[in-house]
Amino acid sequence: MTWMWEKVSIGWLKRFRSSVRTRFRPQSHARLGVGGSQNSPVSSGPWCRYTPNAYLRRRPCGFVAQIIREDRHRVRLYVESVVHSYSDEEFRRLFRLQRCTTEVITADFESSSYYPRGGRGRQKITALKTMLIALTYLGTQWSMNAIADKFGVSESTVHVAIRRVLDFLLSISEREIRWPNDEEAARNKRAFCTLGRCDGVEAGLPDVISAIDGCHVRIPRPTVCEEDYYNRKKFHSIILQAVCDADMVFTDVLVGFPGRAHDARVLEESFLFEEAASRYDGGYLLGDAAYPLLPWLLPPYRHVTSSWQTWMSKFNHVHSKQRVVIEITFGLLKGCFWRLDKIDVNSVPQAVEIVMAAYVLRNLARRHADVLEDSDIANSDLGTFSSEPVDVDHKPTLAARLRDRLA
């Protein structure tokens, strides 16, 4: 006798199983329990409980529905039993944040409206477990399937947990990513002067409040306006523009511009460009050669030649030592949250939300004195290649005279 297997649709099986349950129900209760053995009359009878992996076995004498269930082995009680036994170093390595920082963020998340309260249905997973699932997603390149197996939950639970944490982090982004007040701005000026100290120079450029730069995050090939996201390094990306202070805390971010866009254009389209005159009253922002020279934005001198005057070369050297803080901050961001190495999601808005959540977590970590390891920078791909320089040095503007005076 020949056995034939034919895969059937789930909708057909739902309509068919009611008749199967009536015609072929064994004497015992035909309900397959979670821990039922394969040799029990329940699991070995002609009918078993419906599962998504369904096949119809066809015989010459008629039809018998046999449901094949693929058991998945997951780690049970991982958070409840294993995580608490980790040392602080192991916890930091696995979840990318220190234990104390994670506990503070989790408490804030649990008290928010984004963590569900008690109700009917299945027992809700704890706030800590929800947060650790999201941190594992942001801190690794693991698939949803692998994360579900590690935490002993279903893939749908992983999706829901990540969605809740992302929504929570986005809701507090304005609180955590903010412009420094007068006291913080004065402290930043002193800190940047200290960063600019080098051989033959007692202090760096005065009145520097922050530094600006952009980097790229890989994304899958978009289905809409694909050519706009294909950058000059031959891959699809979105641009991250960020401003940070001397303590490597992000004070202004813009995420989502197509990778083909120039850094200067991204700046001109941002709210920072509109509000910079009032924000930088009495202070300056340092940028690389891709940015224009403005009264509140100082790039280095361009067109390096042997005929340069010494004071120009010294200005660029001090400028580089102060501006490098933004590159280090980008390196720590990508080194901590490996998901930013390549965000494999279906839409650009989803990628933007993931990046914004990483920004917020980075600031939360810094403000809670979360110590980051040197390996975070060593293992990161910064993707901070500069756009072509903007040639505006020849313009006799007020900004040019101001830069000459500082040099």
Provide the terminal-to-terminal Cα distance of the chain, rounded to the nearest Å.
Answer: 92
Domain ranges of the chain: 4-67, 78-171, 178-406
* Cα–Cα distance, 51 to 68 (Å, whole number): 8
Whole-number pLDDT of residue 36: 41
Confidence of residue 311 (pLDDT cuts 50, 70, 90): confident
Task: Flag whether pLDDT at 368 surpasses 90.
Answer: no
Question: For 386, phi and psi rounded to 5 degrees?
Answer: -85, 150
| Residue 215, strand partner residues | 240
**Contact (Cβ atoms closer than 8 angstroms) between residue 105 and residue 130:** no
Q: What is the pTM of this model?
A: 0.76
Band of the pLDDT at 312, cuts 50, 70, 90?
confident
pLDDT at residue 333 is higher than 90 = yes
Q: Quick: pLDDT tens for 177-235.
A: 999 998 999 999 999 988 866 555 556 788 999 999 999 999 999 988 899 999 999 99
What is the DSSP track for 24-89?
Answer: S--SS-----TT--TTSHHHHSS-----SSEEEEEETTEEEEEE--------TTIIIIIGGGS-HH
DSSP secondary structure letter of residue 394: T
d(CA 278, CA 370): 32
Q: Which two tokens stand for residue 52?
A: 């998504």
CA–CA gap between residue 324 and residue 173 (Å, rounded): 25
Picking from 150-164, 224-238, 267-281, 285-299, which range would have the lowest pLDDT averaged per residue? Answer: 267-281
